[in-house]
Amino acid sequence: MISTEFLVLVFFVYGLAFFGMGIAMALESGRVTPLVEPNSLRPLALFGILHGTHELLESYLLQAEWAGTLLSPGLIWLRLGLLISSFLFLFLFAFSVLRLGESNWKNQYLIIAITLFGYVVVILVGAVKAFLQPSISTAVLIDALSRYLLAVPASVLAAMGLYTRSRKANAEGVTSLKNSFSLAALGFSLYACTQLFVQPIAMFPSTIFNLVSFMSLTGFPIQLIRTLLAVLISFSMLRAAQVMENERNFQLATVERGRLEAMQAREILKRNLLRQCVKAQEDERARVARELHDDTAQSLSALSIELATLRQLLKGQKTPTEKVKSLQELCRQTSQGLLRLMSDLRPTQLDELGLIPAIKFYIEQECALNGMRIDLEPSGETRRLDPRVENVLFRVVQEAVHNIERHAGTKAGEIFLRYKKNDVELRIVDTGMGFDVNQSFTAPHGWGVAGMRERVESAGGQFFLSSSIGIGTTVRAVIPLNGRQGD
């Protein structure tokens, strides 16, 4: 004889297993996965919650009956309402996951549908005969019919749908999800068989398969088997939910990895475009400088010689001589300006002597022309660098010194050039008025800063700008060496 305490425990575990599965499926239904639609999980979640509540209520009613508590008839009908509604949601779950359109399974589905139809006809005939008997309990009959007509077909269809999903998961290559769905399908198949055992009533198949006959045959209640199957189904579906979560995380990681790779490809493309732009710019500067030297500068030199000759011819004539002298001075100033322009466009010292001599020559010119005081402090193992790197660093020095002259409100600055094993670092520091580094450095007001940054990045380097109002500004560029620049 099974004790009431044991039955209460069985019903409690039975209800808890399905209720927990329902909560888990409700949480999972709010997410998206390509293997299971959220809409198919919501009915399963409601089935689990309602059926779990039904079994917990059954546990309470059993304890109340054992304690001799007078129960309200409303609780009996509430229990039946929970039972019927839970099986209806199980039907919805089964229909939502079932794939009747699979060509390989159409014949099997048709056979099962015909079998279920014949089964339902037999049950309905038996129910009519039982209902005509005056001694039968209406609540017991409704309980039995809900299991015969709802639980059994719904569980069979759910098993078929889950098996279909296991085939789909197997085709997708997700073996662990396929195993979970297959195990859940097995659980629902066996669960359908356990629902054939109801309270003994005068109708087929209850006259053969009922709770009393099962207890007599096995020595334990059918609820114990249902509890074990509830645990199996819940474990399988929770495991499937975990697998789907892992699959979703894998897909998100794949998308994120693709996004990062696309960003890296864009960055590489951007650096290549910047490098090509800088190269084209420098080539154009060199071409213009050559043309100025070969054409305009030589023409100015010839003009200066002709003016000197004319001055000799007009010697002794005061007014014409003064005019010629003025033209000679204008020609000389134009030649000097042209030479400075050619040096800015393409400093010959940079190509012939290297970075440090070119910077020294440049700051000497600026100091003599504008009264500035710029100090250069090289350190490390000084050496010739890749021409592209030397050109980038020289252009940064040019722009930074120009900014000191135009905007810093000071005539003093320092240039630190540090040669290291794997990179070279350039710092230009002034103690001027400073500015807000958070302002926009885009055209037309920020060409200088944007140009320095683009040049440094085109060589694969990093550009840093720091400034404090009233303290000064520091421009810093770090460019890798040993063939890594711009790669």
Query: Tell me, what CATH number does 101's domain have?
Result: 1.20.1070
Any domain includes 338: no
For the chain, 487 residues long, give each residue's pLDDT as a single digit of tens. Answer: 567 777 778 778 888 888 888 887 787 776 655 445 556 778 888 888 998 888 888 888 877 777 667 667 788 888 889 989 988 998 888 888 776 445 455 566 677 777 777 877 877 777 777 676 666 777 878 888 888 888 888 888 888 888 888 888 788 777 888 888 889 889 989 989 988 888 887 777 877 888 888 888 888 888 888 888 888 888 888 788 778 777 778 878 888 888 888 888 887 787 777 777 767 766 676 667 666 656 666 666 777 777 777 767 766 666 666 777 777 777 777 776 666 666 666 677 777 888 899 899 888 887 877 788 889 999 988 888 888 888 889 989 988 988 888 888 888 899 999 999 899 999 999 988 888 777 765 544 556 788 888 888 888 899 999 988 888 899 999 999 875 444 3
Predicted structure pTM score: 0.53
Q: 45 near 29, Cβ under 8 Å?
A: yes
Same domain? 132 vs 235: yes
Contacts of 79 (CB under 8 A, 6+ apart): 54, 57, 58, 61
DSSP-derived secondary structure for 114-167 = HHHHHHHHHHHHHHHHHHTSTTS-HHHHHHHHIIIIIIHHHHHHHHHHHHHHHH
Same domain? 244 vs 369: no
Q: Residue 417's closest CA among 324, 354, 333, 486?
A: 354
Any domain includes 291: no
Any domain includes 43: yes
Residue 460 in tokens: 């694969």
State the Cα–Cα distance between residues 21 and 230, nearest whole angstrom. 9
Residue 117 in tokens: 């139809």
Any domain includes 189: yes
Query: In this structure, what DSSP letter does residue 292 have?
Result: I
Any domain includes 324: no
Any domain includes 308: no
Residue 414 in tokens: 């320092």
Last residue of a domain, one of 229, 262, 295: 262
Q: 475 near 432, Cβ under 8 Å?
A: no
Same domain? 249 vs 364: no
Any domain includes 157: yes
Same domain? 214 vs 355: no
Query: Tell me, what CATH number does 390's domain have?
Result: 3.30.565.10
Q: Residue 466's closest CA among 428, 440, 423?
A: 428
Same domain? 376 vs 478: yes
Any domain includes 18: yes
Residue 90 in tokens: 């199980």
Last residue of a domain, one of 262, 285, 305: 262
Last residue of a domain, one of 262, 289, 306: 262
Same domain? 485 vs 376: yes
Q: 163 near 33, Cβ under 8 Å?
A: no
- Could you give the number of structural domains in the chain? 2
Same domain? 252 vs 381: no
Same domain? 150 vs 16: yes
Same domain? 358 vs 462: yes
Same domain? 254 vs 402: no
Same domain? 253 vs 389: no
State the Cα–Cα distance between residues 170 and 23, nearest whole angstrom. 26
Q: Domain of residue 436: give its range.
A: 349-487
Same domain? 53 vs 154: yes
